[in-house]
């Protein structure tokens, strides 16, 4: 199964990209780095520059139909930049419209707010997004991992890097279950 990882060209929290990525690889699936521009993305360890990663696909050239799920890594800058890109927002909306599962950690639910897919859903995030989620019609909870089965797809959210083990285990189970049901 191909799983999209959507990031901005700069600002993704490295561990929130690499640990979920490794989970996909270890399970025998195909992670695909999708960004708004070709080339490389620059990751960060909080505010410090970290490694670069090669972009596999540009968001303007792909659609949800070619993926089994979408992972939205966090970092403060990553979703903040992505939510200003119409094609990135449309890509996220496409996953919800097509019933494919989505996983978002830390600050990444900002993309869900921008894509207007939070209404009626229960989710978690970094605590500073609590008001944004509530204002977008969602219910914010302080849980390590939250799975919301709403409509035709499932949404997996998590709060922070300390929750990565539970996040990775949960989203992979949800994605594999969805793929088996297709």
173 vs 182: CA distance, rounded Å: 15
Residues classed as catalytic: 107
DSSP state of 160: S
13 vs 31: CA distance, rounded Å: 17
Strand partners, 104: 72, 157
Residue 16 burial by CB count (10 A; 0-12/13-18/19+): exposed, middle or buried? buried
101 closest CA partner among 68, 72, 74 = 68
118 vs 79: CA distance, rounded Å: 15
- Give Cβ neighbours of residue 142 (< 8 Å, ≥ 6 apart): 124, 127, 159
Q: Report whether 21 contacts 51 (CB < 8 A).
A: no
């Amino acid at each position: 199964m191909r799983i999209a990882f959507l990031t901005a060209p700069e600002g993704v929290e490295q561990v929130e990209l690499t640990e979920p990525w490794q989970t996909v690889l270890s399970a025998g699936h195909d992670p695909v780095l999708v960004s708004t521009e070709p080339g490389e993305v620059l990751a960060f360890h909080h505010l410090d520059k970290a490694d670069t990663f090669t972009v596999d696909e540009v968001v303007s050239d792909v659609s949800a139909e070619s993926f089994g799920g979408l992972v939205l890594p966090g970092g403060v800058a990553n979703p903040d930049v992505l939510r200003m890109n119409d094609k990135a927002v449309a890509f996220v909306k496409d996953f919800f419209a097509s019933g494919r599962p989505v996983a978002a950690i830390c600050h990444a639910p900002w993309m869900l707010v921008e894509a207007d897919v939070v209404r009626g859903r229960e989710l978690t995030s970094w605590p500073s997004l609590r008001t944004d989620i509530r204002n977008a019609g969602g219910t914010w909870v302080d849980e390590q991992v939250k799975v919301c089965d709403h409509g035709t797809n499932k949404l997996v959210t998590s709060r922070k890097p300390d929750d990565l083990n539970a996040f990775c285990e949960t989203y992979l189970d949800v994605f594999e279950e969805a793929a088996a049901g297709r």
